[in-house]
Amino acid sequence: MAVGAVMNQDVKGLIGAAFMTRPICDVFQLELRSTIGAGNFEEFGDVRTPQGFDSVFSWSPLQNINPKKQYPAVLLLPGSADETVPPSSSYKMLAQLQHDHPTNNLPLLLYVVPEAGHTSRTLTESVYMFCVMEESLGITWRKAQS
């Protein structure tokens, strides 16, 4: 959630790449349609109340995508077996980013990690993260001089 909120609020060029691993992109969906959502009311605000709704709406990543700015490279990494944060949150985030930014300068990508739960990390997703980072930040590898 923090990466999504910062990505939406950053000044142009401050962030070169954003990696959202098992992200909660739609706080409203999490709180209203999941079994763990009610446990977040105290921390994030209860979206069923006017004050909680306004608080969450002010920073929730999906609801604050800015259609007027260029986004950094984005790689969403939901787990296909994540029972804590449904992968649909990432699908909605990517769909909205791609809809609002069809000509974004940097890639807006999603990799659904097969059979991954909420906390697991695979070598494959780490490699994808490094590839996106290398490409979006213009990193080139040089041969070590001996």
pLDDT in tens, 40-70: 666 676 778 888 888 888 888 999 999 999 9
The Cα 79–Cα 120 span in angstroms is 8
Tokens at residue 102, please?
């069809």
List the CATH code of the domain at 2-26+61-137.
3.40.50.1820
The Cα 20–Cα 11 span in angstroms is 19
The Cα 85–Cα 113 span in angstroms is 13
Tokens at residue 11, please?
């000044």
pTM across the whole model? 0.82
What amino acid is encoded at 42 in this protein?
E
Model confidence pLDDT, tens digit, residues 15-38: 889 999 888 888 777 656 555 666
